[in-house]
Amino acid sequence: MKKRILLLAICLLCTGCSSPVNSRSNASVEISSASAAELIEPIETDDHSAFEAVEAGDTETGGITQTYYNPLHAHAEKDHYELSGKIILKEQRGLIKIEAPEDTDLTVKGSITRVMGEIQLIYLDSDGTSVTLANMETDGDQTLEIDTTVHTKTGKGSIYFSGSSSEYDFDLSLWPSDDINYYLP
CATH code, 158: 2.60.120
pTM of this structure: 0.65
Give the ranges where the chain is alpha helix by DSSP (H). Answer: 2-15, 51-55
Q: Check whether 143 has a pLDDT greater than 50.
A: yes
Q: Is the peptide bond before 101 cis (omega within 30 degrees of 0)?
A: no
pLDDT of residue 39: 32
Report, as an integer, the average pLDDT of 107-133. Answer: 94
Decide: 117 and 167 in contact? Cβ < 8 Å: yes
In a domain, 170, yes or no: yes
Q: Give 45's contacts (C-beta < 8 A, 6+ positions apart).
A: 25, 27, 69, 70, 71, 72
pLDDT of residue 97: 94
pLDDT band at 34 (very low <50, low <70, confident <90, very high): very low
d(CA 24, CA 30): 19
> Could you give the angle at the alpha carbon of 176 between the alpha carbons of 172 and 178, nearest 5°?
145
Domain count of the chain? Answer: 1
In a domain, 15, yes or no: no
In a domain, 101, yes or no: yes
Mean pLDDT, the chain, as a whole number?
73
d(CA 133, CA 161): 10
pLDDT of residue 48: 39
In a domain, 175, yes or no: yes
pLDDT band at 28 (very low <50, low <70, confident <90, very high): very low
Query: pLDDT tens for residues 70-101?
Result: 899 998 888 889 999 999 998 889 999 999 99
In a domain, 6, yes or no: no
pLDDT band at 139 (very low <50, low <70, confident <90, very high): low
* Proportion of the chain above pLDDT 70, given as a percent: 63
Among candidate residues 91, 93, 92, the one with its CA nearest the CA of residue 83: 93
In a domain, 7, yes or no: no
| Burial (CB count within 10 angstroms: exposed 0-12, middle 13-18, buried 19+), residue 145 | exposed
In a domain, 4, yes or no: no
pLDDT of residue 178: 66
> Which domain, by its residues, includes 140?
27-183
In a domain, 108, yes or no: yes
